[in-house]
Amino acid sequence: MDVSSVRLEDRLARESPGGGQVDPSPMFGTWHNTDKKTGGIVRMALAERNGTFIVHAWAAGSPDLHDWGEVAATAHAANVHSGEGMAFSAVYDFGFVESILAAYTKSGILVLDTFNTFKDGSGRSNYFTREFFHR
Amino acid sequence: MPLQISRTRDAIEGPRPVRPVDLALLAGTWVNFDAASTGVHHLEIEDRDGQLILRTWGTGAPEPQSWGEVVAEPFTDGVALHEAVAFRADYDFGFARVMLACYLNKRLLVVDAYTVFQDGSGRSPYFQRDHFYVP
Protein backbone atom coordinates (compact mmCIF):
# COMPACT_ATOMS: atom_id res chain seq x y z
CA MET A 1 0.00 0.00 0.00
CA ASP A 2 1.40 3.39 -0.98
CA VAL A 3 0.96 5.86 1.86
CA SER A 4 2.51 9.15 2.86
CA SER A 5 5.43 8.92 5.27
CA VAL A 6 8.09 11.07 6.89
CA ARG A 7 10.24 8.19 8.14
CA LEU A 8 10.65 4.50 7.45
CA GLU A 9 8.60 3.43 10.47
CA ASP A 10 5.51 5.16 9.02
CA ARG A 11 5.40 2.76 6.08
CA LEU A 12 3.11 -0.23 5.90
CA ALA A 13 4.99 -3.46 5.43
CA ARG A 14 1.83 -5.48 4.87
CA GLU A 15 -1.78 -4.99 3.84
CA SER A 16 -3.46 -5.53 7.20
CA PRO A 17 -2.84 -2.54 9.44
CA GLY A 18 -4.33 -2.20 12.91
CA GLY A 19 -7.28 -0.25 11.53
CA GLY A 20 -6.14 2.95 13.15
CA GLN A 21 -7.71 1.95 16.45
CA VAL A 22 -5.56 1.37 19.51
CA ASP A 23 -6.92 -0.49 22.54
CA PRO A 24 -5.84 1.43 25.65
CA SER A 25 -7.01 -1.26 28.08
CA PRO A 26 -3.53 -2.78 28.66
CA MET A 27 -2.73 0.49 30.45
CA PHE A 28 -5.91 0.65 32.55
CA GLY A 29 -5.62 0.78 36.33
CA THR A 30 -4.30 3.03 39.06
CA TRP A 31 -0.65 3.94 38.76
CA HIS A 32 1.31 5.11 41.81
CA ASN A 33 4.47 7.19 41.75
CA THR A 34 7.51 5.17 42.83
CA ASP A 35 8.72 8.31 44.68
CA LYS A 36 6.57 8.67 47.78
CA LYS A 37 7.91 12.20 48.34
CA THR A 38 7.24 13.50 44.83
CA GLY A 39 6.30 17.12 44.34
CA GLY A 40 4.65 16.15 41.06
CA ILE A 41 1.95 13.66 40.15
CA VAL A 42 1.24 11.21 42.95
CA ARG A 43 -1.06 8.83 41.14
CA MET A 44 -3.07 8.42 37.95
CA ALA A 45 -6.11 6.38 37.05
CA LEU A 46 -6.36 5.26 33.42
CA ALA A 47 -9.77 4.00 32.33
CA GLU A 48 -12.52 4.17 29.74
CA ARG A 49 -15.47 6.50 30.25
CA ASN A 50 -18.36 6.35 27.77
CA GLY A 51 -16.09 4.96 25.11
CA THR A 52 -13.36 7.55 25.68
CA PHE A 53 -9.91 6.78 27.03
CA ILE A 54 -9.40 9.05 30.06
CA VAL A 55 -6.67 9.89 32.51
CA HIS A 56 -7.39 11.17 36.03
CA ALA A 57 -4.39 12.57 37.89
CA TRP A 58 -3.77 13.63 41.47
CA ALA A 59 -0.75 15.79 42.27
CA ALA A 60 1.24 16.60 45.38
CA GLY A 61 -0.21 19.23 47.69
CA SER A 62 -0.57 20.14 51.33
CA PRO A 63 -2.61 19.21 53.24
CA ASP A 64 -4.53 17.48 50.43
CA LEU A 65 -3.60 16.26 47.00
CA HIS A 66 -4.57 18.39 44.00
CA ASP A 67 -7.30 16.58 42.11
CA TRP A 68 -6.71 17.39 38.45
CA GLY A 69 -9.90 15.72 37.28
CA GLU A 70 -10.34 13.69 34.12
CA VAL A 71 -9.21 14.53 30.60
CA ALA A 72 -9.34 12.56 27.37
CA ALA A 73 -6.12 10.86 26.35
CA THR A 74 -4.80 9.50 23.06
CA ALA A 75 -3.49 5.95 23.12
CA HIS A 76 -0.45 4.97 21.06
CA ALA A 77 0.79 1.56 19.99
CA ALA A 78 4.36 0.42 19.46
CA ASN A 79 4.07 0.62 15.65
CA VAL A 80 1.63 1.34 12.83
CA HIS A 81 0.38 -2.28 12.71
CA SER A 82 -0.27 -2.84 16.39
CA GLY A 83 -3.62 -2.29 18.07
CA GLU A 84 -2.27 -2.65 21.60
CA GLY A 85 -1.88 0.55 23.59
CA MET A 86 1.47 1.07 25.33
CA ALA A 87 1.75 4.86 25.47
CA PHE A 88 -0.48 7.90 25.70
CA SER A 89 -0.57 11.66 25.57
CA ALA A 90 -2.98 14.08 27.23
CA VAL A 91 -3.30 17.79 28.00
CA TYR A 92 -4.38 19.51 31.22
CA ASP A 93 -5.08 23.22 30.89
CA PHE A 94 -5.51 24.90 34.27
CA GLY A 95 -5.57 28.40 32.84
CA PHE A 96 -2.46 29.61 34.65
CA VAL A 97 -0.45 26.57 33.53
CA GLU A 98 -0.77 23.97 30.79
CA SER A 99 0.64 20.50 31.41
CA ILE A 100 1.22 18.11 28.54
CA LEU A 101 1.52 14.51 29.64
CA ALA A 102 3.52 12.08 27.48
CA ALA A 103 3.86 8.57 28.85
CA TYR A 104 4.83 5.06 27.87
CA THR A 105 4.81 1.67 29.55
CA LYS A 106 7.63 -0.81 29.64
CA SER A 107 8.10 -3.97 31.70
CA GLY A 108 5.22 -3.11 34.03
CA ILE A 109 6.45 0.44 34.69
CA LEU A 110 4.83 3.60 33.38
CA VAL A 111 7.23 6.44 32.59
CA LEU A 112 5.58 9.85 32.61
CA ASP A 113 7.05 13.05 31.19
CA THR A 114 5.27 16.33 31.82
CA PHE A 115 5.91 19.57 29.92
CA ASN A 116 4.59 22.49 31.95
CA THR A 117 4.03 25.94 30.49
CA PHE A 118 3.02 28.89 32.68
CA LYS A 119 0.61 31.40 31.20
CA ASP A 120 0.16 33.72 34.18
CA GLY A 121 3.16 36.02 33.78
CA SER A 122 4.49 34.89 37.15
CA GLY A 123 8.06 34.61 35.83
CA ARG A 124 8.30 30.93 36.65
CA SER A 125 10.30 28.87 34.17
CA ASN A 126 8.42 26.37 32.09
CA TYR A 127 9.62 23.02 33.34
CA PHE A 128 9.91 19.34 32.54
CA THR A 129 9.44 16.35 34.84
CA ARG A 130 10.07 12.65 34.42
CA GLU A 131 8.59 10.21 36.92
CA PHE A 132 8.00 6.49 37.26
CA PHE A 133 4.81 4.68 38.25
CA HIS A 134 3.73 1.18 39.18
CA ARG A 135 0.24 -0.37 39.37
CA MET B 1 -1.56 37.40 46.07
CA PRO B 2 -0.21 33.84 46.29
CA LEU B 3 0.68 32.14 43.05
CA GLN B 4 -1.60 29.41 41.80
CA ILE B 5 -0.11 25.95 41.80
CA SER B 6 -1.24 22.64 40.35
CA ARG B 7 1.26 20.66 42.46
CA THR B 8 4.01 21.31 44.99
CA ARG B 9 6.65 21.68 42.28
CA ASP B 10 4.92 24.78 40.86
CA ALA B 11 5.74 26.80 43.98
CA ILE B 12 8.62 29.27 43.84
CA GLU B 13 10.51 31.23 46.51
CA GLY B 14 13.08 33.94 45.94
CA PRO B 15 13.96 35.75 42.72
CA ARG B 16 12.57 34.72 39.38
CA PRO B 17 14.96 33.08 36.88
CA VAL B 18 16.62 35.11 34.14
CA ARG B 19 14.80 35.13 30.81
CA PRO B 20 15.09 33.82 28.18
CA VAL B 21 16.20 30.40 29.30
CA ASP B 22 19.68 29.24 28.32
CA LEU B 23 19.52 26.90 25.30
CA ALA B 24 23.25 26.10 25.16
CA LEU B 25 22.94 22.49 26.33
CA LEU B 26 20.45 21.71 23.57
CA ALA B 27 22.00 23.58 20.65
CA GLY B 28 23.85 21.59 18.02
CA THR B 29 23.49 18.77 15.54
CA TRP B 30 22.26 15.56 17.12
CA VAL B 31 22.86 12.21 15.40
CA ASN B 32 20.96 9.01 16.10
CA PHE B 33 23.03 6.39 17.95
CA ASP B 34 21.22 3.66 16.03
CA ALA B 35 22.29 3.69 12.39
CA ALA B 36 19.48 1.21 11.64
CA SER B 37 16.73 3.33 13.23
CA THR B 38 13.47 3.66 11.33
CA GLY B 39 12.57 6.86 13.20
CA VAL B 40 14.23 10.25 13.40
CA HIS B 41 17.58 10.34 11.59
CA HIS B 42 19.08 13.52 13.01
CA LEU B 43 18.13 16.93 14.41
CA GLU B 44 19.58 20.42 14.28
CA ILE B 45 18.84 22.74 17.19
CA GLU B 46 19.63 26.42 17.03
CA ASP B 47 19.34 29.28 19.51
CA ARG B 48 17.94 32.09 17.34
CA ASP B 49 17.59 35.20 19.48
CA GLY B 50 16.40 33.13 22.41
CA GLN B 51 14.04 30.97 20.37
CA LEU B 52 14.68 27.26 20.06
CA ILE B 53 14.65 26.46 16.34
CA LEU B 54 14.36 22.78 15.46
CA ARG B 55 15.07 21.11 12.13
CA THR B 56 14.36 17.39 11.93
CA TRP B 57 15.13 14.68 9.41
CA GLY B 58 13.33 11.35 9.37
CA THR B 59 14.88 8.16 8.10
CA GLY B 60 14.36 7.48 4.42
CA ALA B 61 15.74 5.59 1.47
CA PRO B 62 17.95 6.54 -0.17
CA GLU B 63 18.14 9.86 1.73
CA PRO B 64 16.80 11.14 5.08
CA GLN B 65 13.57 13.11 4.75
CA SER B 66 13.55 16.73 5.87
CA TRP B 67 10.66 17.61 8.15
CA GLY B 68 11.44 21.29 7.94
CA GLU B 69 11.89 23.88 10.64
CA VAL B 70 9.65 24.62 13.61
CA VAL B 71 9.86 26.69 16.75
CA ALA B 72 10.12 24.32 19.71
CA GLU B 73 9.35 25.07 23.35
CA PRO B 74 12.23 24.69 25.83
CA PHE B 75 11.82 23.52 29.42
CA THR B 76 14.05 23.69 32.47
CA ASP B 77 14.27 21.22 35.33
CA GLY B 78 12.29 23.44 37.70
CA VAL B 79 10.40 26.72 38.06
CA ALA B 80 13.41 28.65 39.42
CA LEU B 81 15.97 27.34 36.94
CA HIS B 82 17.42 28.96 33.85
CA GLU B 83 19.00 26.16 31.83
CA ALA B 84 16.87 24.29 29.28
CA VAL B 85 17.14 20.51 29.56
CA ALA B 86 14.12 19.45 27.51
CA PHE B 87 11.90 20.64 24.69
CA ARG B 88 8.68 19.84 22.92
CA ALA B 89 7.76 20.41 19.29
CA ASP B 90 4.82 19.71 17.01
CA TYR B 91 4.97 18.81 13.32
CA ASP B 92 1.79 18.74 11.26
CA PHE B 93 2.28 17.06 7.89
CA GLY B 94 -1.40 16.99 6.96
CA PHE B 95 -1.56 13.20 6.72
CA ALA B 96 -0.05 12.90 10.21
CA ARG B 97 0.81 14.91 13.31
CA VAL B 98 3.94 14.20 15.31
CA MET B 99 4.68 15.50 18.81
CA LEU B 100 8.35 15.30 19.71
CA ALA B 101 8.87 15.10 23.48
CA CYS B 102 12.60 15.37 24.16
CA TYR B 103 14.95 15.62 27.13
CA LEU B 104 18.61 15.43 28.00
CA ASN B 105 19.96 12.55 30.03
CA LYS B 106 23.60 13.39 30.74
CA ARG B 107 24.80 14.25 27.23
CA LEU B 108 22.30 11.95 25.57
CA LEU B 109 19.21 13.45 23.91
CA VAL B 110 16.15 11.23 24.20
CA VAL B 111 13.48 11.87 21.55
CA ASP B 112 10.03 10.36 22.00
CA ALA B 113 7.78 10.71 18.95
CA TYR B 114 4.00 10.47 19.38
CA THR B 115 2.46 10.09 15.91
CA VAL B 116 -1.22 10.28 14.97
CA PHE B 117 -2.33 9.64 11.38
CA GLN B 118 -5.09 11.78 9.90
CA ASP B 119 -5.32 10.24 6.42
CA GLY B 120 -7.64 7.28 6.96
CA SER B 121 -4.85 4.89 6.01
CA GLY B 122 -5.67 2.64 8.95
CA ARG B 123 -2.28 3.08 10.53
CA SER B 124 -2.25 3.06 14.32
CA PRO B 125 -1.11 6.05 16.33
CA TYR B 126 2.28 5.03 17.58
CA PHE B 127 5.13 5.82 19.96
CA GLN B 128 8.78 5.63 19.01
CA ARG B 129 11.94 6.44 20.93
CA ASP B 130 15.39 7.30 19.62
CA HIS B 131 18.63 8.41 21.30
CA PHE B 132 21.02 11.04 19.95
CA TYR B 133 24.48 12.40 20.53
CA VAL B 134 26.56 15.31 19.30
CA PRO B 135 29.48 13.87 17.29
Q: What is the pLDDT of residue A18?
A: 58
Q: What is the per-residue pLDDT for B13?
A: 87
What is the predicted pLDDT for the residue at A129?
98
CB contact under 8 A, A83 and B17: no
Q: Mind telling me how many Å the CA of A60 is from chain B's nearest CA?
A: 5
R_g of chain B, CA atoms, integer Å: 17
Of B59, B77, B121, nearest to A127 by CB-CB distance is: B77
d(CA B131, CA B135): 13
Interface of A with B in 105-134 (CB under 8 A): 113, 115-118, 120, 122-130
Of B1, B48, B82, B49, which Cα lies nearest the Cα of A123?
A: B82
Tell me which residues of chain B have a pLDDT lower than 70: 1
Chain A residues lying within 8 Å of B125, measured CB to CB: 20, 22, 74-77
What is the model's pLDDT at position A78?
96
Nearest-neighbour CA in chain A from B53: distance (Å)? 17
In a domain, B6, yes or no: no
Domain map (residue ranges) of chain A? 18-134
pLDDT of A45 over the 70 cut: yes
pLDDT over 80 (residue A12): no
> Distance between CA atoms of A53 and A41, rounded to whole angstroms?
19
Contact at CB, B112 and A104, closer than 8 angstroms: yes
At A20 the pLDDT is 82
* Closest CA in chain B for residue A117: B75
For the domain made up of A18-134, the CATH class stated in words is mainly beta
A13–chain B Cβ distance below 8 A for any pair: no
Q: Is the pLDDT of residue A15 over 70?
A: no
Structural domain boundaries enclosing B36: 17-133
CATH code, B96? 2.40.128
**How many domains is chain B partitioned into structurally?**
1
Cα–Cα nearest to A90, from A104, A79, A80, A106: A104
Q: Judging by beta carbons within 10 Å of its beta carbon (0-12, 13-18, 19+), is residue B8 exposed, middle or buried?
A: middle
- A126 CB neighbours in chain B (<8 A) are 21, 73-76
Check whether A131 has a pLDDT greater than 70: yes
Q: Where are the alpha helices (DSSP H) in chain A?
A: none
Query: For residue B29, is it within any domain?
Result: yes
Tell me the HSE value of B128 on the side-chain side, using a 13 A CA sphere: 25
A135 in contact with B, Cβ within 8 Å? no
Best CA proximity match to B4, nearest among A37, A61, A38: A61
B72 bridge partner residues: B52
- Separation between Cα atoms, residue A104 and residue A114, nearest integer Å: 12
Is B2 domain-assigned? Answer: no
Chain A / chain B CB contacts < 8 angstroms: 196
Q: Is B9 part of any domain?
A: no
Q: Do A7 and B81 touch (CB under 8 A)?
A: no
Strands A66-76 and B40-48: unpaired
Q: Is residue B109 part of a domain?
A: yes
Amino acid at A113: D
For B80, which of A113, A120, A125 is closest by C-beta distance?
Answer: A125
The Cα A70–Cα A56 span in angstroms is 4
Q: Answer yes or no: is pLDDT of A17 > 60.
A: no
Mind listing the pLDDT tens digit for each residue in A60-119? 999 999 999 999 999 999 999 999 999 999 999 999 999 999 999 999 999 999 999 999
Nearest C-alpha of chain B: how many angstroms from A61? 5
Q: Nearest CB to A6: which of B65, B73, B103?
A: B65
- pLDDT-derived band at A25 (thresholds 50, 70, 90) equals very high
